[in-house]
Amino acid sequence: MTIILNSKEIKKCVQLNDKLIPIIEDGFKSLAMKKTTMPPILRLDIEKYHGESDVKAAYIEGLDSYAIKVASGFFNNPKLGLPSSNGLMILLDSKTGVLKSILLDKGYLTDLRTAIAGAIAAKHLSNLGSTKAGIIGAGIQAKLQIEALTLVRKIDTVFIWARDSKKVNQYIKELSKLNINFKACSSPEEVVKRSEIVVTATPSKSYLIKKEWLKKGLHITAMGSDAEQKNELDPHIIKDCDVYVPDSLSQTKILGELHHAINNNLILPNANYNELGNVIIDSSLGRKSKDDVTVCDLTGTGVQDTSIARQTYEIAMSLQLGTNID
């Protein structure tokens, strides 16, 4: 039996809430414990239209299904009145490869699992009492990152900067429901210097945050650098921060902020770091003191996709949602 789930049905099954945190955490733990099979990301760049399409997949040992995802990011789309992200996931039986479900989520599940990864990073790496957050960017992921962050920290103020001031104003208007004090900033520097947690959520090709702006105790989650050409952090930040944590070390060496530090000869290519899953398992591998500067480098992993696709499918079956195409 193969079930097709449309976007409306998928949104009935999963929403951005704390129920997703342990599900995605379990995926990261499996990755860190080498209990997964996760191939390198396949990416197609459409530079003419400032777009890209990625294929990600992962099998997690002991689970009866796994996901393969096709996701696109076309960053000029908002100018056309279209969302920047899109895509779908397929769920297959682990023993037979039989197609169990096609999830026509239009990028919704990717948006959720990415936001939850940011929340998990802050949960395990930022100071517990952090209340001041900063966001670089004003797109859909910038919005979801702050919503997700409120699941793990009592955020009362958000400082925001983006290149387009109109988007900043719209961002603040849309997130007024959170009852948080939003402050538009004139520069990324102002955001960094006034925040305790900073999230970067842009497709920038040149770094936006400089090392000299950092202060003691700051946590940064960099989630925009998911391709070789993207870069949000000064490479010296990766070299000099107290704790650097990648979601997948093999990926961040070729895609993430770590990749740029290696290319600038600041870090050796064979450098080893504990992944986010390791820190989830053992907190002593993360922040050591309240003054540590911590960085989490998120490139997006197939284990997140398998985890959220399976959860969506299971809930859909319990609610008897979807269309059987057999």
- CA–CA gap between residue 70 and residue 48 (Å, rounded): 20
Rama region for 115: left / alpha / beta (φ>0; ψ in -120 to 50; rest): alpha
Which sign, positive or negative, has the C-alpha torsion 232, 257, 203, 150? negative
Out of 2-11, 72-81, 104-113, 211-220, which region has the weakest mean confidence (pLDDT)?
Answer: 72-81
pLDDT at 228: 81
pLDDT digits (tens, 9 = 90+) for 229-269: 889 999 999 999 999 999 999 999 999 899 999 999 999 99
pLDDT of residue 224: 81
Same-fold call for 3-109+303-324 versus 116-301: no
Give residue-wise pLDDT tens across range 72-87. 999 899 889 998 889 9
94, pLDDT greater than 80: yes
Domains of the chain: which residue ranges? 3-109+303-324, 116-301
Question: At residue 323, what are phi and psi to the nearest 5 degrees?
Answer: -120, 125
Whether the pLDDT of residue 227 is over 80: the answer is no
Tokens 């998911």 belong to which residue?
Answer: 226
Phi, psi of 55 (to 5 degrees): -120, 125
Task: Give the sheet arrangement for strand 219-222, strand by strand.
Answer: 181-184, 157-161, 132-136, 197-200, 219-222, 294-297, 243-246
Tokens of 63: 């689970």
- Per-residue pLDDT for 226 more than 80? no
Asked if CATH classification 3.30.390.30 holds for the domain at 116-301, the reply, yes or no, is no
| d(C-alpha 195, C-alpha 209), whole Å | 13
The pTM of the whole model exceeds 0.85: yes
pLDDT reported for residue 78:
87
User: Per CATH, the architecture of 3-109+303-324 is what?
Assistant: 2-Layer Sandwich (3.30)
pLDDT at position 229: 84
Reported as a single tens digit per residue, the pLDDT across 152-193 is 999 999 999 999 999 999 999 999 999 999 999 999 999 999
| Largest CA-CA distance found in the chain, in angstroms, rounded | 59
Residue type, 163: R
200-211: pLDDT as tens digits: 999 898 999 999
Strands (E), the chain: 3-5, 36-37, 42-46, 51-60, 65-74, 85-93, 99-103, 132-136, 157-161, 181-184, 197-200, 219-222, 243-246, 294-297, 323-324
Q: In this predicted structure, what is the pLDDT of residue 100?
A: 98
